Amino acid sequence: MLLAFAAVLVAAVNLRAGIASLGPVLGDVVEAFGAGGWLAGVVTAIPGLFFALMGLAAVPIASRLGLGGALTAGMVLTFIGLALRPWVGGIWIFIVLTACVVAGIALANVLLPAWIKNHGGRHIVALMTIYTSVLGLSGAIGPLSALLFDGADGWRWALAVWAAFAAVQILVWIFVVARTGYDFPAAATTADRQGDTSAGTAAARRGDTSADTAAARRGASLWRAPTAVFLMLFFGLQSMNAYVQMGWLPQIYLDSGASATVGSVALSMVGALNIVGGLAMPSIIHRARHLGIFPVMFSLLTAGGYLGLCFAADTWPLLWAFLLGLGGFCFPTALALIPARTRTPLVTARLSGFVQPLGYFIAAVGPLLVGMIYDATGSWSAILLGLVVATAAMAATGFRASRRSYIDDELDAAAR
């Protein structure tokens, strides 16, 4: 079991740092390659895009390679991207290698909880706590590497240092896979399906209509369940805000006259507060009677952070980062709403596969638009005010998604 804890720990350390370390040095990267702001937008859009794509592709890949094999393959892909991208000579090669980094991280992000469920035993809760909290820690420490290196090539070393952590991860997981095998619960999935069929047949013999209801839930489109659609939009909008901040927040501070150190510390503060949110919000949501207040409150905090950056960025610079970090509690809130708004594991699994990939596609659009507008105007005012409008939409969709209703019931109604 000590091996499982070590495996989850080294994997979680690498789940955000390779992405978060880019934001503080993005301006240096663009300048070094002589690229335009719209290409910086492409770079910052990659995380959302590949989290969406790998959310769709992760299970088919794991079906072929096994959970352990797919996780290790993703880790190797991340290492290759981290080790090579600081030293290339062209922006497009840099973008391709950044895509490798993010694709490997996204694959681990999707499959690591499944591996924990397979191998965690009675320590599943402890392992998931390590996973979520260290993931947040990874996002918090990633930006700090920019503070360690100075000079014209400092940005290269600030990015390259994370390849060492990725190398350690691979070494640990080669040993893990050798011990646990290239497992994938295909047999369990088949058994579950057979169990469903057998249960359905038995229910039909008894005249029970629950089998028909379950079949209807499998067949009904989640697009016909309003709560599912609003939850997907809420997840997408909060992810969009997260990736805009991860990619552009240090540049916003630099353009306001703050130092690079302040920008890095601000982004690290946002990541650190994500740890707090990940630890606190699942328990709070489980106990709360009325959930709608949380998306609205966290959206207002996010809007306050953007307005502060727009009108008083140089007055209390870290206060605005603190508000944005508290607003980032929307992420664990959105994740916690997935099981909170479903009754059965079947619908929970379907909802997760609907909300996260589609939501990440929405998330990918934000940083790209920011890059294009910034390239055209050279100003942050319109962008920050536009993000305030987006937080209003986030509050509205989150409030509706939090309403006390169950997607199972909406699917049953849609199938009638």
Q: What does the H/E/C string look like for 280-293? A: HHHHHHHHCCCCCH
Cα 332 to chain centroid distance, Å, stands at: 10
Query: Counting every residue, how long is the chain?
Result: 416
Contact 248, 23 (CB under 8 A): yes
CATH class, domain 1-182, is mainly alpha
The model's pLDDT over 96-154, given as tens digits with 9 standing for 90+, comes to: 999 999 999 988 887 887 788 778 778 877 887 788 778 888 888 998 898 888 888 89
Distance separating alpha carbons of residues 259 and 262, to the nearest angstrom = 5
Model pLDDT for residues 69-92, shown as the tens digit of each residue? 999 999 999 999 999 999 998 999
| 219-416: CATH number | 1.20.1250.20
| Whether the Cβ atoms of residue 329 and residue 234 lie closer than 8 Å to each other | no
Give me the percent of the chain exceeding a pLDDT of 70: 90
Question: Rounded to 5 degrees, what are φ and ψ at 15?
Answer: -85, -10
Every domain of the chain with CATH number 1.20.1250.20 lies at: 1-182, 219-416
Q: Which helix (H) or strand (E) holds 234?
A: helix 226-255
The closest of 27, 131, 115 to 371, measured between CA atoms, is 27
Maximum C-alpha span of the chain: 76
Residue ranges of the chain with per-residue pLDDT less than 70: 181-219
Q: What's the pLDDT at 260? A: 86
User: Cα–Cα distance between 363 and 369 in angstroms, integer?
Assistant: 11
